[in-house]
Amino acid sequence: MKGDNALRYGIRDGCLNEPWEKLFAVAHRLGFDGVELDIGGDFRQSMWWTADGMARLRSAIQQSGAELASVCLGAYWGISPASRDPQVRAAARELAIGSLRRCRDLGARWILAPITPAQDVPHEEARQRWIEEMRACAPVAEETEVYLALENVGAGSAQSASDLLAIVEGVGSPYVKAYYDPGNGLSLGNDPVAEILLLGAERIVEIHAKDPGGELLGEGKLDWDAVAAAIKQIGYSGYVVLETPRTSDPERAARHNLAFLRERLG
């Protein structure tokens, strides 16, 4: 295990064509420190939600040499905390709180919560509802010492670092922070370097790595040299997690992308 002040490198499950029980060993063999799992809309039927599934997942992690870096609440694209429907919000809260406790049990410290939209809900109303729902989950985050890391994504109410900052500060919990994606920032018309500097290491607890317009890092439109310099400038020391296309050769792509990041970030 690396020290708390060392950069660590993770990979999303979707980047590799492997079931969860094999994924961690493959990630370790490729040189990654950890894995980020995406929890989809069928979360109650997944390994993530059943006692047997958790036992198998724990065994796979323990035998692999890699750790569970984080989980992504991908189900939020269907059950957004911004919804006007109280049943939808209750399901979103159930997923977040259950995932916080499961992360604690498996040794993960971060949960990616994409700031997803809800149908026909205006920006400001959605933002306020996100603040309210994350406030409701924050006591469990603080109890488990697992961060809820809110990500800048398209179509939602956090399409810029300023939006993200408003929600994080509106919640006001030491365990609700930012998961910054510079590729998303660029795609949304923002300056990723300026956004990294605005949020700073005191708010960013995890970073996604992608390159819009390209399959492999270095082939797209993102100025990764400038982004890497900004990451170093703020003194960031958490996970950088690949969220890149699987390609026709997932392991080759993963090796390339990991080497690309290490060359620039150390």
Percent of the chain with pLDDT over 70: 98
pLDDT at position 1: 47
Please determine, for residue 4, whether its predicted confidence score (pLDDT) is greater than 80. Answer: no
Whether 171 and 135 have beta carbons less than 8 Å apart is answered as: yes
Residue 82 sits at φ, ψ, to 5 deg, of -80, -5
Confirm whether 2 is domain-assigned.
Answer: no
Q: Give the helix/strand (H/E) hosting 50.
A: none
The CA distance from 31 to 29, in Å, is: 5
Model confidence over 5-59: pLDDT tens digits? 789 999 999 999 899 999 999 999 999 999 999 999 999 999 999 999 999 999 9
What is the per-residue DSSP string for 139-166? HHHHHHT-EEEEE--TTSS--SHHHHHH
* pLDDT confidence tier of residue 3, bands split at 50, 70 and 90: low
The CA distance from 244 to 261, in Å, is: 12
> Looking at the 3D structure of the chain, how many domains does it have?
1
Nearest 10 degrees: Cα torsion 219, 73, 104, 137:
130
Confirm whether 3 is domain-assigned.
Answer: no
DSSP reduced 3-state for 70: strand
Confirm whether 1 is domain-assigned.
Answer: no
Model confidence over 150-186: pLDDT tens digits? 999 999 999 999 999 999 999 999 999 999 999 999 9
pLDDT mean across residues, the chain:
97
Please determine, for residue 144, whether its predicted confidence score (pLDDT) is greater than 60. Answer: yes
The CA distance from 129 to 217, in Å, is: 35
Confirm whether 64 is domain-assigned.
Answer: yes
Whether 157 and 127 have beta carbons less than 8 Å apart is answered as: yes
Whether 15 and 242 have beta carbons less than 8 Å apart is answered as: yes
Model confidence over 146-156: pLDDT tens digits? 999 999 999 99
Query: 95 is in which domain, residue-wise?
Result: 8-265
pLDDT at position 147: 99
Model confidence over 74-131: pLDDT tens digits? 999 999 999 999 999 999 999 999 999 999 999 999 999 999 999 999 999 999 999 9
Confirm whether 254 is domain-assigned.
Answer: yes
pLDDT at position 6: 85
Confirm whether 109 is domain-assigned.
Answer: yes
Please determine, for residue 2, whether its predicted confidence score (pLDDT) is greater than 80. Answer: no
CATH assignment of the domain containing 25: 3.20.20.150
The CA distance from 171 to 174, in Å, is: 9
Cα 85 to its chain centre, rounded Å, is: 25
pLDDT at position 48: 98
Please determine, for residue 221, whether its predicted confidence score (pLDDT) is greater than 80. Answer: yes
202-222 mean pLDDT: 99
Nearest 10 degrees: Cα torsion 80, 86, 92, 96:
130
